[in-house]
Structure 1
Amino acid sequence: MAFCVSPAFAHAAGERRDGPMIEVYKSETCGCCTQWIAHLQENGFKVKARNVPNTAAYRARFGIPAALGSCHTAAVSGYALEGHVPAAEIRRLLAEKPRAVGLAVPGMPLGSPGMEMPGRVADAYDVLLLRTDGRQEVYRRYGTQ
């Protein structure tokens, strides 16, 4: 299956010979963004963090609806990543290469990568696949059986 590479990602995707680079746009002071980056690195991804004053501008640039916003936006291999997307789903996205804008975990659900809080019950949350035609579908559910 083919996938769509937006011209907006030409610079941000940062594809390298030794694997894809995830470029993260975040606030300089956000601790959970830093924890999500650590999750990505622990799972073998290379990460380039960019502190920006307005992550909403990147969300719009990459085609993520504002209603799905979180605290950081990222780009990898022509796809957008919004929020605390687990590394396993990023790997799946890159392997399957669906025709999509990317993945989103709206809000900041407890228990998602970077939002773990010992002693607190994790929220159930969905990882959404954002299709290029504007449709959204559940890519994977977490915390529900």
Structure 2
Amino acid sequence: MKRRSLLGLSLLPLLQAMPALAATAVEVYKTPSCGCCVNWVKHLSAAGFTVHVNDVDDTGPIRQKLGMPEQFAGCHTATVGRYVIEGHVPAADIRKLLATKSAALGLSVPGMVIGSPGMEMGSRQEPYSVLLVQRSGQSSVFSAYNQPRKDT
């Protein structure tokens, strides 16, 4: 086998993995004074994402440009691969979305929910849902956290 062919074969796994590696880069848009956004970025970094932070005066225009409806607004907006991530979405849900290769617009945790990544306040935890937002603006529950137990 020629040297060029062997080199191509040895690089094949790396070349096949490149789209997945690129998809782990997260572009975050947040206001400069938001501490919970900084904590969310730390959560993503600890989970293995490469994060680039952009401080902006207002995340609304970014969210609008990306097509995320205002009712799903959180305190920061991010992109990963072709998806929009709005608010304090857990890193595990972002990975799950990337693995599903959904046609959805992205994920959202509207508002600032205590107990979500970046919004930790000791043992306090509010129930919340991560919403899968479709390009049409419709949403469904993707994951649920801190839900009250239902005794049967």
TM-score by length of 1: 0.85
Q: Matches of 1:64 and 1:18 in 2, distance apart?
A: 24
Structure 1's 28 and 124: CA in aligned 2 closer, same or farther, altered over 3 A? same
1:56 paired with 2:72, answer no
Instruction: Report matched runs for 1:1-145 at 5 Å.
Output: 18-19=21-22, 20-119=24-123, 121-144=124-147, 145=149
For the aligned residue pairs, the C-alpha RMSD in angstroms reads 1.5
Query: Amino acid of the residue matched to residue 128 of structure 1?
Result: L
Could you list the runs of 5+ residues in structure 1 that have no partner in the other structure?
1-14
Q: Matches of 2:138 and 2:117 in 1, distance apart?
A: 25
Percent identity over paired residues:
45
Q: Matches of 2:39 and 2:96 in 1, distance apart?
A: 21
Query: Amino acid of the residue matched to residue 141 of structure 2?
Result: V
How many angstroms does 1:134 deviate by?
A: 2.1
Partner of 1:60, secondary structure, is helix
Paired residues, number: 130
| Higher RCO structure, 1 or 2 (CA under 8 Å, sep 6+) | 1
Identify the structure with the greater helix proportion.
2
Partner of 1:90, secondary structure, is helix
Moved over 2 A (4+): 15-20
Q: Matches of 2:19 and 2:26 in 1, distance apart?
A: 10
